[in-house]
Chain A
Amino acid sequence: MTPILTIENLQVEFSTPFGAVHAIRGIDFSLARGDILGLVGETGCGKSVTGRSIMRLLDENAKVSAGRILFDGMDLLQLTDTEMRRIRGNRIAMIFQDPATSLNPLFTIGEQIKDVLRAHRGSGRGGAKALAIELLADVGLPDPAQMMSVYPHQLSGGQQQRAMIALSLAAEPDVIIADEPTTALDVTIQAQILDLLRRLQRERSISVIFITHDLGIVAETCQQVVVLYAGRVAEKGAVETILARPQHPYTRGLLAALPRPGSRGNDLRVIRGNVPSGFERIVGCAFAPRCDYVMDICRAQNPAFSVIDSTHHSACHLHEMPANG
């Protein structure tokens, strides 16, 4: 099956008073139709910048210095602003961490959804209303008919995020990019939203890029996962295999660092040192300075992807060594 969205060698830089920041240093991955793909990594790994690059919503001081973003046979980076505007919201929608700032406070939830329905589906007045109520019911908002006339600030955080999801579904987009959509929510509310996303995936077979820092969320929601480190992909593949048998030392370290039931009394595994700053020029593997298995080649040469199995790729020189070596 051809992927719906493919990112090839994406590189993004920001210019700042103190020099260029390399936010993304070359990322490759693709999103299959009907999948939820988790884009995970720690602060500064470039996960949010990747999401914004796809939407072409980067700040003015950002520059895509290389790469392609292929969507439905087009390179999104080559489109004119007008063409991109037609894609945005219509065919690729975005959900943000803070729904309160991405819903318009001056219009009711109903008006905002009806606007999208009219613009994108050409629904008539009555049709739009019925469809909007249906959507609100679909995302699990209580009393959807009444929700139509409610303003965003009258909703709780979880309800706002549901409304935001309804809004992004209104245009029936091919891809939804969700940037930490549950980070601002409490765990019991987060559980509700994750449950909703799983149901929507079953019922509507939506394709989602789920940006998060939480490997637990990835385990419970995603089929594919891409682990980012310092603007590069460390490891990618199917969630069950990567979380059960991580190959890249960074992914392993990340999983071992998590406290779990029964870990009390023992020290947690620690990844020593710090994430490299975006100002640094990186020669070789970005993880080399923190890696327990570092070899000479790691400091000289950026590792290519090794195929662990057909659904599992890891960028580490260790995989190139003979098994007994």
Chain B
Amino acid sequence: MRVEVGSTLWFLLRDRAAVISAGFLLSVALAAVFAPILTPYAAQGMGDPDLSRKFAAPGIEHPFGADGLGRDQVARLMFGARRSLSMGVLVVVAAIAVGTPLGVVAGYLGGWVDELLMRVTDVFLAFPPLLLAIAIAAALGASYVNAVAAIAATWWPWYARLARAQTLSVRERAYIEAARGIGVRHRVIMRRHILPNILTPIVVQGTLDVGTAILVAAGLSFIGLGTQAPYADWGVMISDGRLYFLSGRWWLSTFPGLAIFLTAMAFNFLGDGVRVAADPRLRRTL
């Protein structure tokens, strides 16, 4: 295990796109965590207006400009990152936490349990995920937590499917048979033998998905179903700024848009890098 992680890291460090992406994501995360110290406009970042700076254009004082309530865009982006990033991560963590155990149970036990779970996931997967998330979020009521719950509810079936497929292949390994021969109980086999051996592809998929989850969360916030004023996330910022885009205040929507775009892309590069580095058969392509 130690060596496995070690060699994965060794190969990951040889993937330039993954290293740059990881660096970028790390700095975004640090900016989000230390936002109150890093920016002189912490109060504005959290939503307080300062009308003296209304619609300030990008310049030395405000590199990304200020919005209609005079709030510094850099500060808003840093505080927004807290919500956007956390929403993306929470969605994926929740989806994995729900989907993986179900997939493992279905794949290991098979039979009617498997049949039932697969039909349920079929129902979820039949709807476009964003549409389903909007419906659930609207039903639950607009809030940060509900938005996370709504997106996770559309996402877990993917992990259930992935976990089931991985379980089906791990189930055939000799050490599973050996454990059964010893008389180990089924639930212990699932927890101690199957789960640890299917985690790698799930973690890889999770990394790839965080970017998309941020995008979907921004989408919900954009239509008002996510983060509520006075707080902001990147989706809210685009939404707020879009009215002024044509009147020449381009910076209001452009910078949050760029932030989402770059973050989503970085997660994709990183996830892809981990996928290649963790798989000895793919490492040659580096």
Q: Which residues of A contact B (CB under 8 A)?
A: 17-18, 60
Query: Interface on B for A, CB 8 Å cutoff?
Result: 3, 6-7, 10-11, 284
User: What's the Cα separation between A323 and B11 when bound, in Å?
Assistant: 55
Complex formed: what's the CA distance from A17 to B2 in Å? 13
A18 to B3 alpha-carbon distance, docked (Å): 9
* B284 → chain A closest CB, angstroms: 7
- Assembled-state Cα–Cα distance A18/B10 (Å): 9
Q: Can you name the residue of chain B whose Cβ is closest to the Cβ of A61? A: B284
A-B contact pairs, 7 of them (CB 8 A): A17-B6, A17-B7, A17-B10, A17-B11, A18-B3, A18-B7, A60-B284
Chain A positions within 8 Å of B3 at CB level: 18
Q: How far is the CA of A257 from the CA of B63 in the complex (A)?
A: 78
Q: What is the CB-to-nearest-CB distance from B45 to chain A, in angstroms, rounded to a whole number? A: 43
| Complex Cα gap A60–B283 (Å) | 12
Q: What chain A residues lie within 8 Å of B284 (beta carbons)?
A: 60
Q: Which residues of A contact B7 (CB under 8 A)?
A: 17-18
* B284: nearest chain-A partner, CB-CB: A60
What residues of B have a CB within 8 angstroms of the CB of A18 in the complex? 3, 7
- 7 smallest A-B Cβ distances: which pairs? A17-B10, A17-B7, A17-B11, A60-B284, A17-B6, A18-B7, A18-B3
What is the bound-complex CA distance between A18 and B4, given in angstroms? 12
B273 CB to nearest chain A CB (Å): 16
Interfacial chain B residues near A17, Cβ < 8 Å: 6-7, 10-11
The distance in angstroms between the C-alpha atoms of A60 and B284, with both chains bound, is: 9
CA–CA, A17 and B10, complex, Å: 7
- Name which residue of chain B comes closest to A59, CB basis: B284
Q: Which residue of A lies closest to B7 (CB)?
A: A17
Docked CA distance A17–B3 (Å): 10
Output the nearest chain A residue to B11 by Cβ-Cβ distance: A17
A181 to B47, CA, bound (A): 74
* Shortest Cβ distance from B9 into A: residue: A17
Cα of A18 to Cα of B9 in the assembled complex, Å: 12
Chain B residue numbers with a CB within 8 Å of A60 are 284
Residue of A nearest to B6 (CB): A17
Distance, CA A60 to CA B10, complexed state (A): 18
Least CB separation from A17: chain B residue: B10
- Expressed in whole angstroms, the minimum distance between the Cβ of B11 and any Cβ of chain A is 7
User: Cα distance A18–B284 when bound, in Å?
Assistant: 16
Residues of the A chain whose Cβ atoms lie less than 8 Å from the Cβ of B10: 17
CA distance A18 to B2 in the complex (A): 13
Docked Cα-Cα span, A17 to B277, in Å, equals 12
The smallest C-beta distance from A75 to any residue of chain B, in angstroms, reads 28
| CB closest chain-A residue, reference B14 | A17
**Nearest chain A CB to B282 CB, angstrom units:** 14
Cα–Cα distance between A215 and B10 once the two chains are bound (Å): 40
Closest to B10 in A: A17
Q: In whole Å, how far is A21's beta carbon from the nearest beta carbon of chain B?
A: 14
- Bound-state CA distance A138–B3 (Å) is 50
Q: Complex formed: what's the CA distance from A76 to B228 in Å?
A: 73
* B8 and chain A: residue at smallest CB distance: A17
B4 CB → nearest A CB, Å: 11
**Whole-angstrom distance between the Cβ of B260 and the nearest chain A Cβ:** 35
Q: How far is the CA of A306 from the CA of B11 in the complex (A)?
A: 46
Minimal beta-carbon separation of A194 from chain B (angstroms): 30
Q: Roughly how many angstroms separate A219 CA and B3 CA in the complex, as a whole number?
A: 41
Q: Cα distance A99–B11 when bound, in Å?
A: 32
Q: How far is the CA of A64 from the CA of B284 in the complex (A)?
A: 20
- For the complex, give the distance between the alpha carbons of A17 and B11 in Å: 8
CA distance A17 to B4 in the complex (A): 11
- Cα–Cα distance between A234 and B64 once the two chains are bound (Å): 73
Chain A residues positioned under 8 Å from B6 (CB to CB): 17
Q: What is the bound-complex CA distance between A60 and B6, given in angstroms?
A: 21
Closest beta carbon of chain A to B106's beta carbon, Å: 33
Bound-state CA distance A17–B283 (Å) is 12
Expressed in whole angstroms, the Cα–Cα distance for A9 and B284 within the complex equals 29
Per the bound structure, the CA–CA distance linking A304 and B6 in Å amounts to 40
Give, as a whole number of angstroms, the nearest-CB distance from B280 to chain A.
11
Q: Considering the chains assembled together, what is the distance between the CA atoms of A240 and B6 in angstroms?
A: 49
A60 to B285 Cα, complex, angstroms:
12
Closest chain B CB from A193 CB (angstroms): 28
Nearest chain B CB to A226's CB is how many angstroms away? 31
Nearest CB in chain A: distance from B98 CB, A: 36
A301 to B7, CA, bound (A): 35
Contacts of B11 in A (CB 8 A): 17
How far, in whole Å, are A93 and B266 apart by their CA atoms in the complex?
48
A71 to chain B, nearest CB (A): 29
Measured CA separation A18–B11 after assembly (Å):
12
